[in-house]
Structure 1
Amino acid sequence: MSLDTRPPADTAYTDVDGTRIAWRSQGEGRPLLMLNRFRAAMADWDPALIDGLARNHRVITFDSAGVGASDGTVPETLEGAADVAMGLARAIGLETPHALGWSMGGMTAQILAAKYGDGLGGVVLAGTTPSFAVDGATPVPDEWLNVATTPSYTVDDMLFLFYTDTDAGRLAGRSSLARIGGGDPVAGATPKTTLQTMAGQGVPTRKFFAGEDGAFRMLKDIKVPVLVANGDRDRAFAVENSVALAKAIPGAQLSIYPDAGHAFHFQYADRFADEVTDFLKVA
């Protein structure tokens, strides 16, 4: 099927260091900047999670450089992606926003927290990993990577990538994809970014995994409050990686969700939104 991937009418555009960045705002309260996963655009966030977070925060979703409705090219490092995120926050006048990063966005958020901690509140790292150079972290399985990098996704692909192979997991996955797709799970599963974006994001992600960018050395220097959260059966980043990440960040809290995979925060959207809100109240 073909999918209309044009951004909705309420999408705003702001120049960030010469690149036009697309973003959206929902809710009121202290800003919460959302950093997205590999191959995802703004439309790939589950509305249930965004609605839940927007009850207490001004939620800012955006397409980074070279992604979705934004111009430019994907930065060659995740530090570059962190610079885009903070550049947008400053350009639109966000004062000490919180940040929530999922998967690749969580890797970027680690760098954001270390580099720009003085300009942030709390940071939530969801379904993500430290560099595999960190003690206790294990690489992404090849089977998962092979599916994640296919040209297009089916509903079954998305269920494999993001949910558990249980009745509860499959039901949660289909329900989330339907919400994302406006009632159509196939539309929810369909990639909304280009293969060029995927290739561009693969470069900095591999550098991060291997520790070539040195980001893992910055974890000990993070001073902002951090919540690390994941599902107990994440096929991409095993729960041991979340444990390793929480141990590497001073004072980090750890939260693990049962019978849940890489998109645990969509499966448990209301519960996770409440947990994030409670955590950020004191950040």
Structure 2
Amino acid sequence: MTEASTAVGAAHAANLDIEVDGERFAYRRFGGPSATVPPLVLLQHFRGNLDYWDPAFLDVLAADREVITVDLRGVGGSTGTTPDNIADMARDALRFIDALGLKSVDLLGFSLGGHIAQEIALVRPRLPRRLVLAGTAPQGAPDLHRWSEDVYAYACADEITAEGFIALFFSGSEKSVQRGWEYLARTHARDTDRDAETTLACRDAQYQALMTWGIPESSKLERLSAITQPTLVANGDNDTMMSTKNSYLLAERIRGAQLRVYPDADHGFLDQYPVEFGQHVRQFLGR
């Protein structure tokens, strides 16, 4: 299938696929085309697939524009082998966007997806109109190369459990944990046509890509000066996976970047504040 879903919410968007050089990319496309803003392409976090995007967040974004979520190579329902480096992941995202015939897009990258979005903005600067970098970090940033033992145990466990996901993505407060369970309920409301889970091989390749990106090297930070698109940087106030201070670093190094930090929130701030963050993104992108 290659037709967009235009009259349904994100939770019921059809599973689509497109063949690129003999490999198939799984994606969902929903919302309505806009005459004033390009489609918004979302790039997912470590081990995440199409089903991990919060439908409450997506429906806010898709209120007046097209939104596209995608599994890159080897992820979820897409075929092929997951690359072990960000540059190749960015090339895969570009192959997918080109195959859809899109000449301009807005990009929202979450976590690992934020690394990919930065790379796209650097190697194909005329493609992204605006960037949203959520819960992510620049290449070569300090304290990014090695996760704490707790973060590694939850993030890289062979089986992703609900309890482990909430411990990793939400702060320990009662309110944050409650919102974590509400997020999981929303993502599991889709009980048919769910995406395939990511494999352990995909996990290992993505982890290698993350750790290589995170090797401390101050010279890599200079690359950020070449990002000229209007950029929104966002995070929770205590991201234990990517470190909130790296969001401040992104905002300092990308000329004119805006920064939003959400209270009592960890890595999954966008799932804790889906409507609020969605509205902030819409406002930034020009509705």
Q: Does TM, normalized by the shorter one, top 0.5?
A: yes
Query: Structure 2 stretches of 5 or more lacking a match?
Result: 1-11
Query: Structure 1 stretches of 5 or more lacking a match?
Result: 1-7
Q: How far did 1:40 drift? A: 0.7
The answer to whether residue 271 in structure 2 is matched with residue 266 in structure 1 is yes
**CA RMSD for the aligned pairs?**
2.3
Residue pair 1:164, 1:170 contacting (<8 A) in 2 also: yes
Question: What residue in structure 2 maps to residue 5 of structure 1?
Answer: none
Structure 2 residue corresponding to 1:193, chosen from 192, 198, 213 = 198
In 2 relative to 1, CA 257–91 (structure 1 residues): closer, same or farther, beyond 3 Å?
Answer: same
In the alignment, the residues of structure 2 paired with residue 146 and residue 239 of structure 1 have an alpha-carbon distance, to the nearest angstrom, of 20
Question: What residue in structure 2 maps to residue 69 of structure 1?
Answer: 77
In the alignment, the residues of structure 2 paired with residue 135 and residue 153 of structure 1 have an alpha-carbon distance, to the nearest angstrom, of 27
Residue deviations 1:171-226 (CA, integer Å, cap 9, x gap): 11000011111289xxx9x99211111012122111101158x8644211111111
- TM-score normalised by the chain length of structure 2: 0.87
In 2 relative to 1, CA 211–247 (structure 1 residues): closer, same or farther, beyond 3 Å?
Answer: same
The answer to whether residue 212 in structure 2 is matched with residue 204 in structure 1 is no
In the alignment, the residues of structure 2 paired with residue 71 and residue 237 of structure 1 have an alpha-carbon distance, to the nearest angstrom, of 28
Identity of aligned residues (%): 35
The answer to whether residue 30 in structure 2 is matched with residue 26 in structure 1 is yes
Q: Which moved more, 1:149-158 or 1:173-182?
A: 149-158
Residue deviations 1:13-52 (CA, integer Å, cap 9, x gap): 1122332111110102330000000101101111111111
Residue deviations 1:152-171 (CA, integer Å, cap 9, x gap): 12222111110011111011
In the alignment, the residues of structure 1 paired with residue 223 and residue 249 of structure 2 have an alpha-carbon distance, to the nearest angstrom, of 14
Q: How far did 1:55 drift? A: 0.6
Question: What residue in structure 2 maps to residue 89 of structure 1?
Answer: 97
* Pairs aligned (count): 269
Structure 2 residue corresponding to 1:109, chosen from 108, 112, 117 = 117
Question: What residue in structure 2 maps to residue 146 of structure 1?
Answer: 153
Residue pair 2:25, 2:77 contacting (<8 A) in 1 also: yes
In the alignment, the residues of structure 1 paired with residue 92 and residue 190 of structure 2 have an alpha-carbon distance, to the nearest angstrom, of 32
Listed as ranges, the matches of 1:163-202 within 5 Å are 163-182=170-189, 192-202=197-207
Q: How far did 1:137 drift? A: 6.6
2:214 aligned counterpart, secondary structure: helix
In the alignment, the residues of structure 2 paired with residue 95 and residue 120 of structure 1 have an alpha-carbon distance, to the nearest angstrom, of 9
Residue pair 2:18, 2:25 contacting (<8 A) in 1 also: yes
- Match of 2:200, as an amino acid? L
2:129 aligned counterpart, secondary structure: coil
Residue pair 1:35, 1:102 contacting (<8 A) in 2 also: yes
